[in-house]
Each structure stands twice: as C-alpha cells, then as structure tokens.
Structure 1
Amino acid sequence: MSSFDTYNYDVLVIGAGGAGLRAAIEATANGVSVALICKSLLGKAHTVMAEGGIAAALSNVDERDNWRVHFADTMRGGQYLNDWRMAELHAKEAPDRVRELEAWGALFDRTKDGRILQRNFGGHKYPRLAHVGDRTGLEMIRTLQDHGIHQGIDVHMECTIINLLKDGERVAGALGYEREKGQFKLFRAKAIVIATGGIGRAYKITSNSWEYTGDGHSLAYHAGAELMDMEFVQFHPTGMVWPPSVRGILVTEGVRGEGGILLNREHKRFMFNEIPELYRLQTADNEEEGWKYTQGDRLAKRPPELLTRDHVARCIVREIKEGRGSPHNGVFLDISWIKTKIPNAAEHIKKKLPSMYHQFKKLADIDITKEAMEVGPTTHYMMGGIRVNADTQMSTVPGLFAAGEAAAGLHGANRLGGNSLSDLLVFGKRAGEFAARFAKENSQGVIDDRKVEAFVQQALEPFERTAGDNPFQVQYDLQDAMQDLVGIVRKEDELVKAMHELKKLRERFSKVRVIGNREYNTGWHTALDLQHLLTVSEAITRAAIERKESRGAHFREDHPQKDEHSGNCNLIIVKGEDGQMLVKRMPLRDMRPDLIQIIDEMK
C-alpha cells in the first residue's frame, strides 16, 4: 500500500481563484470546516488576469441601467441558450456582491461624487463594469484573500487533485499530490466545490496560464457528472501577436471600452462593415458617432468595436484571411488616436490602462499612448462546463458543486465581457452556501481504499515505462490539432479529422514516459494533466460536430446560419456505461412569462 497523508473536512474547494475563494469564505461563514486547494500558489489565480471590470447594474454612471437590462443583455449575448434562472440570479445579485467586495476593502475607480465608476464593455447596453483601472481581477483576489485568511480556511498550496472519490452515487473525497515533493494526499469531504477555471491550455494560442488544463471539467465528468455547452469556446478578439514569445497574452477589452479602435493594414476601421441586425439599433453607424472614449457617455449607441466578442473575433479573422492584416498576422488596435479628442490623452491612457501601458512597453517596446498595438484572437474562456442546478450550483452528482468558469449555464453560447467576475462572485457564494448546507445534512461517505491505491498506481505508471512518448510533445501536438481543427472557424471534415487525431493522441498518452523522481517533476505533472486535456478536447470536438449551425462562439463554415429549429437546445456530454463519451440533446426549459416580457421590452 502507498503512504499518503489523510485530511478530513466538511467542504473541499478545488481551485483558489475568485470562485473558489468566494465559495470557501461562504462555506466557512456557514459554520463548517473548509479546505482550499491551490494548484499553484495562493494569489497566483487566473482571476488576476481579468482586467476590464465586474459587470453589475449599480446604475452609478447611467441611472437607466438595472438588473432587467443586464439580464436581457446576458441572454442576448448568449444567443438565448443560457440557463435563464442563472442569468436572472446573476443580474439581481451582482450589485450586492460588488458592494460586499467594497465593504471588504476593495478599491474601485470613482465617479466625481465618490461612487464606484463603471465603464462601457462589449454587449452591455450601458456603462456597467466596476473597475480598478485595468487591474480589477488582481484587486478582487487581493480583497478575497485578505478577507478569507481570517476565516479559518485550511489552504493546501501547490497541490493538484487527480481523482474524485465516491461512495455509491455521492462524492466522498479527492486524491491529490504535492507538486513539490510528489507526496499523495487523500481528502475526505462531505461536499466538494469545483472552481478550477477553464481549458485554454488545450489550444496553442491562449491567454490562459499553465494551470488551465480542464482539470475540474474532467474530474467531474469521470465522476459521473454531466458537462454542457462544451462546443462554446470563447476566443477573445484581442491578444498580443508580437513578439512571438508573448503571443496570446490578453489585451483587455477595456482598451476598446476607453476608445480604442480596430484598424486593418490600410488603417481603416473595418468593424463598420458588418454589424448584425440584432445590434444595429444600439451600434453607431458611422465613425463620427462611434468613437466614444469616456465613461458616462449618455449616448445610446456604442462603437462597433464593442460588439460581442465572438463577432469581433470573426471580423478580425476575416481581415487577416483576406490579406488586410497587420505585418505579424493580426490587426491594429489604436488607443493613441484619442489625443485628437481629449487633452492630456497620454496621461489619461496611463491612468485608465496602466497594466496595458506597461505590458506593451516592457514586452513589445511599444508606447500605446503614441502607436497602435498588433492584436489577434486568443483562446480565452470556456462557456461550457459542469451542468449545475441554477440555485444551488450542485451538479448531477450529489455533493459535487461547481462555480465560475468550471460551471456551465450562465453564459449560453457567448459570454459578455465582465460577466465572468460577477459570475464567480454570485455563484461562488451560492456554491459555498449550499455545499455547507449539504455537508451539515449528510454524514461522511465511505472511501474504498482499494480504489485509492489503484488511482495512485495509475498516476505512477509513467515512471515505470522504459520507452514511450515525451508528455510535453504529446501536449504540444494536442494543442496544434485543437488550434488548427477546432478553432474559431470550424467545419465537418476538420472536426472529424480532429477526432481521429485525438484517438491517436490518447494512444500515445497511454504510453508516455517520464524520467527522474517525483519531486517537482514537470514532466510527470504534464503527463497527469494530459488525461484532463484529452477529455475536454474530445468533449469540445464531439459537441462541435453535433451542433450543425453557427451560434455565438461556435461558428461552422459549412453551416453558417443559426438553426432556430434543431439548434434551440443544450448539448449534454455524459460518460456511457462502456466508458465512451456520449452527446445528448436537452431541450431548453420554458422561460417564465415575466422574464420573456423583459426580453421583449428590451428588444
């Protein structure tokens, strides 16, 4: 038998970003013992990369804003595939979660009369994003950590969970290992919250950090939970494209929210060329109307650069494919031009976008107050995830909860910028609350030691092989295949080819070999991550094949139109009895009449 440390908790939270921290804080406030698992170090959460702001209808800049408008914007952005109950709860509760964050010490930019300032963002009708320059995610994590460390939460840093454990149908614990020493850890828990973020590292070009290997999605799937909306991968329109060493690093939508415009090689604003009818009434029709740069602009029309991310990303790809891209295969994003509109523009830009100014100055030797940036689409966010109950955040496995990017439902076919930070606050709180309630109402489940031992031996197999693939090469080839075959623009023959490639990659994964010992062995870590990357890549590809239409972030070149008949459903990924991955169609739930009325009024 292998030796490992054993821990007992009421609630185990896997993931220490915004959703995980908020869930842990809420669970502890409900009087249960809580452990927080960090794959990296506490504070190194991907939430710190969120720059633009937190979407919440505070109505501080425009009193016309309210939860109803926010709800309608979210549903429209998600092409009405959203879980409408989640969208309702999110829009109603986001303002309280932001004020709560402020009460815990978060510092926000302010209006002249001292209220939280809000900025324009893509897909939002009014200025709605509460922000701290372009460092909002960093401020959120700082605030949640400062508040959370006083709540009695046990934190296990540089610890990776590799399997969930069950007692019958319900979850009972998790098996993980210390990344530094390679020592295994067994966590017994009455309830588990998955808050592991997204899947970006399945693609070659991504804004996501190394931790984003789809762990939570895969862990839940193999434990019997259902995944939903996995075909909807958001490609952020603006990531850095030059130099190659920083390709994919996020360029916040806040640049466009502050007046940045997109230009092609000919230095023309191409976003005016194709404005969807759905947004035409809200979008400026010419450059004179559409250049807005300042918060608090009361005009109803927005510049076309602030259309939804899926649309902007496809327009950029079109310019590049048709030969109008920038020298390094992107397009230009120019904020410097606002010097023609406002005095002291350089200082304004440095104040509003300090991280972007320093990022481009240090990484690309570009002064964004004087010259344009080169940007292009980058894999950014997964709308799909673990299917959960809208009110409780519990998955289809009793005792297993999910929140943040790891959970599905709120965003539908496309997420609006800023909704991710309010999502993790609203549903992180709910997941922690109901996980604590579940833990109080249920006893500790029984864990089969033989299963634990089998999982341990399985994790150590790469050390025992004398021949086999390098795990880094398998991961690189996987990222290549997903980028080329299951990217922004998809078609049937490429998706089928991707399935064949994934089958071959899975065979190679079963034979990967690592050398050295278990102490901080990055090859071993990569080998263990591969099982998750392969699972989520297969789920994305199978769902993309099944959805034979274009909607939101899922664009099929061979099916460019929306199918209002067969497309109005969510695709569910389940593990069959034979271990094969299956795709099922789930009809949309009928929306409450009062919410239908809100959407009709907003149209």
Structure 2
Amino acid sequence: MDSKYDIDRLHCDVLVIGAGGAGLRAAVEARLRGADVLVVSKSLFGKAHTVMAEGGAAAAMGNVNSNDDWKVHFRDTMRGGKFLNNYRMAELHAKEAPERIWELETYGALFDRTPDGRISQRNFGGHEYPRLAHVGDRTGLELIRTMQQKIVALQQDDERRGSEQTIRVLDETTVTDLVVEGGAISGAVGYRRASGRFFAVDAPAVVLATGGIGRSYKVTSNSWEYTGDGHALALRAGADVINMEFIQFHPTGMVWPASVRGILVTESVRGDGGVLKNSEGERFMFRYVPDVFKEQYATTEEEADRWYEDPDHNRRPPELLPRDEVARAINSEVKEGRGTANGGVYLDIASRRSEEFIRRKLPSMHHQFKELADVDITAEPMEVGPTCHYVMGGVEVDADSAQSSVPGLFASGEVSGGMHGSNRLGGNSLSDLLVFGKRSGEHAADFAANASEARVSDGKIAEAVENALRPFANDGLNPYEVQAELQKVNGRLVGIIRRESELVEAVKMLEDLRETVENAAIGGGRAYNPGWHLALDVRNMWLCSMATAKAALMRKESRGGHTRDDAPGMDPEWRKVNLVASLGEDGISLERKPVPEIPAELRRLFDEEELAKYMTPEEYGGDGEEGQE
C-alpha cells in the first residue's frame, strides 16, 4: 500500500479491462493457460453492453443451409467492409467462429434449435445464408450469462485445488491510466467507483476489452459505459488506433418517445421478415440497392419475399443490405420529406408475421416497445431511424496475437480495429468477441509467462492520481455541459453524412473544446460521484472525437461507415490506405499506412468484375487468372 495516497496494490499476470464478451472470453482463456487473472468492469458484473447484442452470433456452421462455409463468410465480411478489412483477421474470424460457438454450447449456452436439434441460424443483413446462432432476440445476454458461469466454475475448481492463482473480478471500477515503463506495460492505475479509493495493478500483460465510443453522440444505441476509454488508454500508452473515421449508424433505433431515442431495434426484426416503409406506405429500399449488390438483392417485392420461404433462393430482400446502405437510405427518405412525424420511417413486421411468431422470436422487442413507447409490434409498425451504434476503428493489433505495438498490451472486441474494415456486418460482433477474446487471452497469458516481473513505480502512481483528482480543483463547466457540447459537434458535423467544410469546422470546434474538457469541474467527495466519473470519461470522448473528425476530413471518398457528400463513391486508391492515429505532444496526428494485401489464394474467392469495383487493376490482376473457385 502506498502511504502518501493510501492506495491498494494488486498483482496479477493478466489484467483484463472490460467484462463484456471479449473480456470474459479473454479471462477464461488466460486462466485455462495458467495465468492469474484480474478482470475490472466499469459497470456491475453481468451488465456489460454485450447484453444489448440481441440478434445472434455469425458463424458458418451450415445448420440451415449446407452451402455455407468459412469461405462464404469471409467473402461476405470483406464485401461488407468494402475490402478495407485486415484480411487475416477476417479469415481467422470466419474459420474459427463455428468452433467458438460450439465451445460456448459446451459451457452451457442454450441456443434455439432447428427441428432436427442443431443450433438454429437466422438471416441477417449482408450474410449470404442464414448464419446467426441465436437465443431469441437476447443472444448477447445468454453469452454473458454463460461466460459468467464458466468463470464461476473455474473459480470453484481453483478453490477445490487450493490454487493461489484464479480469476478475480472487480466491478464498478474505472482504470484511468495504463503504465508503460521500460518500453513495455507494467500495469495500471484506477479507482473503485463506489468509494473513490485508488488502486494500482502490477501486471506484465493487459487486455483491453472496453467496447466503443458511442456516448460521444447524443442519439446512440450504446450504454453509458461506451466513452472510448480503451481507445484513449491505448493512445496515451503509445499505441496506435486505426479506421476511426468509420462509425456505423445502425439503421434502426427507436425514434419515439424522445426519452428513448436511439435505443436499438435489433436487425432480427428484418431478418425474420420485417420490412421498411416510408410515410407514404412505400417499401422504399428497392430504390437504394447499389450496383455492386444488384446481383445478390431482389428488385421486386415478390422476389424479395421468396427469400424467407425458400432457403435456396439467392436474392435477398433489400432490407438485408449491409447496415451502412440501409442507414443512408432511411436518412435520404427522411431528408426528402417521406419520413414519419417523429423523423424516422416505419418498420413493419405486424402485417407479415403472426402474433405468436413475433412473441416467440422477438420477445425482447415486443416488451421494449410496449413498455417504452406503448406500441404493440404484433399489431402496428415501429418508428425507427439511424442511431450511432458501432465504431469500426480501434487499437491497431497484430491479427494473430491481438497485441498492439506496445509490448504486453492486447485488445479485442470493439476496441480493436481492422477486422471489420469500413463497415461491420450484423452478427459479426458476437463471434468477433469470442474469436479474438480467446486469442487475446491466450497470447496475453503466454506473454506474461515469459515476461520479467512488472511493478508500477510510485512516481507513475502519483502522476495518475493527481491527474484523476484535478476536476475537484478545477473551476470550469460541469462535465454534463461539456459532454453536451461535444455531442452537438459530433452529431451536427461528424454524423452519418459528412462534407469537408463541416469537418474543418468540427476539428476547429473540438480544438476549442480541449481546454473546456480539461477544466471540467465537479464538487462533492470521491464516493458515488457520477460527475467525477464523467469528468474523466469526457477526456476520453474528446480524444476519440478528434481522431474521428481528423480521419474523416483526410479520407476523401465514401466507403462503409464514412459518407462524404462532397466525395461520393469509393476510390480504389483510398482502399489501399489505413489512416493511423497516434497521440503526441501536439495532440492527435495521422499517418497513412498500407492496408495488408490480400493474398492470391483469398482473392480467388472473388471474381474479377467484383474486385474491379474496389481495387486498382494492378492489385486484382485484371488478366482473368483469379476468377472465383
């Protein structure tokens, strides 16, 4: 214990920051490999944002359509990301996702079943075949429940064996700083939210699994924890983040009442037959199918409806286009005056499915709308609109090990970048958590086993504590006003549709907000002080917002979750470029780095005509030798 600050000192082999799907899977794998593991969770244990991932986990198990395999899944993921993905991450994900789902079942997960008893799989946007293993419309909750049970089982086994090493969990805990000494991770400093008491953790390996940045936007599906903590921790520790310009606006968030605007309406509604209509009653998505997708998506209602009845029918309804396409289409309908009175469109499943079907397949959605909006989705349509949902950008990591450029610092889940390219397909998030959660835990444990003893120095502790306590001595705005100002900038200038003049304005306004963010002031004590928590969170949100705005300004094309009104269409030259953000004395700076080149054996999974839509001729060959298998 440090006498000056009365700080608790802890030690572990692997520190996992975040207790969602990626963090818990990392913790389990690290413990299975013999590491002593500490998990810290910002929220109550079991309440991580993963529980809101409702539709399912994408894995090419072929249980509903036997034509599905990892190659098709890889192909869909690359198409969804507009070929900006780290191909190796997409390859590993597609190959390993089925095993991770079957493994989850051995841990006790209770998936919905097909008539012959296999794990059921449902349709989702951008996936060629029914691919999402699901538990009604509450799959994320089942994943978290199952991983918690596995951790309890491992703890009980350690107790029976009298092992000094185990998995420990600290919930309602915030990590404020990662500590790097001697060029590698030595641990972290943070505090318990209930008491305000500080602690330091000596750990040679840290796994970031902190999720996204959505609370930087006012209209968001993200829970309160998503303030970009992991992204900012990594930047301050000297790691890089990539692809921050790509933010996914989920097409369907609630738009009414205002108190719940942005809350997610799962893609399962569309996957199970729901259709989108404008205020004129028109099923409008047929107008918005991009040329690159016209061979795979239906052009008439009759053809689209065949998809749900005939598993072999290969032309999907346009409501199941990738999320970026659907979100832009809804945005266009509203801007052109065909939106609802509350600024959205209608999502109708009531006229297409029976009450029994809806209550059985979408129980959470039925309950959500009835309780929050007094809307019975078995009898009337929902009002929905785009909501900030997911950031494709995150910590730049090695594809196989999930390690960042800082030795001992790993990242998995939404906080890591590269896997999804410019746009994530629905359902890929939960399988991503499992695949790379396992890999990060595995490699973090191996790193720790071969590392020298780590210890956070007293000087680093003092620096971190004094920085965290500054809001008590500041005399600026309260942090709620600061967050509101930040959200206004992002929502107005760095939203779903962007243009150069507005992005220039956004960068200037964010720069002007820097001092305001640093001077956020709070009163009261350290125990149970949400103002203090937010004063620290808003620093992280500001860093992420600046990285996003600068990258969005630099990338002069439209691709995936980044739409430039003044630079429409994808540019094959920009497809070869990742924008990599780092933090220096002058703030966020950007560097252009090449996207990893897709090897020939994986390029052969696509035909030349398709590759030509994304790549330059020298990249894809252009000689007819690399057609689809």
- Normalising by the smaller structure, the TM-score range is over 0.9
Asked if the contact 2:10/2:201 (under 8 Å) is kept, the reply is yes
Specify whether residues 506 and 113 from structure 1 end up closer, same or farther in structure 2 by C-alpha distance, changes over 3 A only: same
Asked if the contact 1:291/1:303 (under 8 Å) is kept, the reply is yes
Task: State yes or no: 1:386 paired with 2:395.
Answer: yes
Task: State yes or no: 1:582 paired with 2:585.
Answer: no
The correspondence for 1:406, drawn from 415, 427, 433, is 415
The correspondence for 2:482, drawn from 465, 474, 488, is 474
Corresponding residue of 2:162: none
1:50-69 superposed matches below 5 A: 50-69=53-72
Asked if the contact 1:238/1:253 (under 8 Å) is kept, the reply is yes
Corresponding residue of 1:599: 606
Q: Deviations over 1:309-368 (max 9, x none)?
A: 0000000000000000011000000001114xxxxx110111010000110011111111
141-150 or 377-386: bigger deviation: 141-150
CA distance in 1, matches of 2:454, 2:527: 31
The correspondence for 2:131, drawn from 128, 131, 136, is 128
Corresponding residue of 2:555: 547
Percent identity over the alignment is 56
299-308 or 509-518: bigger deviation: 509-518
Corresponding residue of 1:538: 546
Asked if the contact 1:224/1:397 (under 8 Å) is kept, the reply is yes
Task: Letter of the 2:36 partner, please give it.
Answer: S
Task: State yes or no: 1:334 paired with 2:348.
Answer: yes
CA distance in 1, matches of 2:373, 2:248: 25
CA distance in 2, matches of 1:277, 1:515: 56
Specify whether residues 33 and 579 from structure 1 end up closer, same or farther in structure 2 by C-alpha distance, changes over 3 A only: farther
Task: Letter of the 2:432 partner, please give it.
Answer: D
The correspondence for 2:447, drawn from 412, 434, 438, is 438
CA distance in 1, matches of 2:476, 2:371: 40
Task: Letter of the 2:590 partner, please give it.
Answer: V
Deviation of the 1:31 alpha carbon: 0.3
CA distance in 1, matches of 2:143, 2:509: 40
Task: Letter of the 1:81 partner, please give it.
Answer: L
CA distance in 2, matches of 1:409, 1:385: 7
Q: Deviations over 1:378-429 (max 9, x none)?
A: 0000100000000000001000000000001110000000000000000000
Task: State yes or no: 1:222 paired with 2:225.
Answer: no
Corresponding residue of 2:104: 101
Asked if the contact 1:259/1:293 (under 8 Å) is kept, the reply is no
CA distance in 2, matches of 1:211, 1:304: 33
CA distance in 2, matches of 1:299, 1:126: 10
1:36-435 superposed matches below 5 A: 36-151=39-154, 152-291=166-305, 294=308, 297-339=311-353, 345-435=354-444
Q: Deviations over 1:260-294 (max 9, x none)?
A: 00000001011001211211111111001113574
Deviation of the 1:434 alpha carbon: 0.2
Corresponding residue of 2:622: none
Q: TM-score, normalised by structure 2?
A: 0.93
Q: Secondary structure at the match of 1:291?
A: helix
CA distance in 2, matches of 1:287, 1:155: 51
Q: Secondary structure at the match of 2:203?
A: strand
Task: Letter of the 1:262 partner, please give it.
Answer: L
1:428-507 superposed matches below 5 A: 428-465=437-474, 467-507=475-515
CA distance in 1, matches of 2:595, 2:510: 30
CA distance in 2, matches of 1:228, 1:317: 27
Task: Letter of the 1:518 partner, please give it.
Answer: R
Kindly tell me the number of residue pairs found equivalent between the two proteins. Answer: 596
Asked if the contact 2:188/2:456 (under 8 Å) is kept, the reply is no
CA distance in 2, matches of 1:296, 1:594: 32
Deviation of the 1:128 alpha carbon: 0.4
Asked if the contact 2:575/2:595 (under 8 Å) is kept, the reply is no
Asked if the contact 1:386/1:407 (under 8 Å) is kept, the reply is yes
Task: Letter of the 2:462 partner, please give it.
Answer: E
Task: Letter of the 1:582 partner, please give it.
Answer: S
Specify whether residues 70 and 575 from structure 1 end up closer, same or farther in structure 2 by C-alpha distance, changes over 3 A only: same
330-339 or 408-417: bigger deviation: 330-339
Deviation of the 1:510 alpha carbon: 2.1
Q: Deviations over 1:233-272 (max 9, x none)?
A: 0000000000001100000000000000000000101100
Asked if the contact 2:350/2:377 (under 8 Å) is kept, the reply is yes
* Structure 2 unmatched ranges of 5 or more: 155-165, 608-626
Deviation of the 1:453 alpha carbon: 0.3
Corresponding residue of 1:342: none
Q: Secondary structure at the match of 2:153?
A: coil
CA distance in 1, matches of 2:345, 2:596: 40
Task: Letter of the 2:277 partner, please give it.
Answer: L
CA distance in 2, matches of 1:222, 1:14: 15
Asked if the contact 1:260/1:293 (under 8 Å) is kept, the reply is no
Asked if the contact 1:549/1:567 (under 8 Å) is kept, the reply is no
Q: Secondary structure at the match of 2:299?
A: coil
CA distance in 2, matches of 1:352, 1:533: 36
CA distance in 1, matches of 2:201, 2:230: 16
Asked if the contact 1:133/1:351 (under 8 Å) is kept, the reply is yes
Task: Letter of the 1:107 partner, please give it.
Answer: L
CA distance in 1, matches of 2:306, 2:224: 36
Deviation of the 1:443 alpha carbon: 1.3
CA distance in 2, matches of 1:369, 1:292: 22
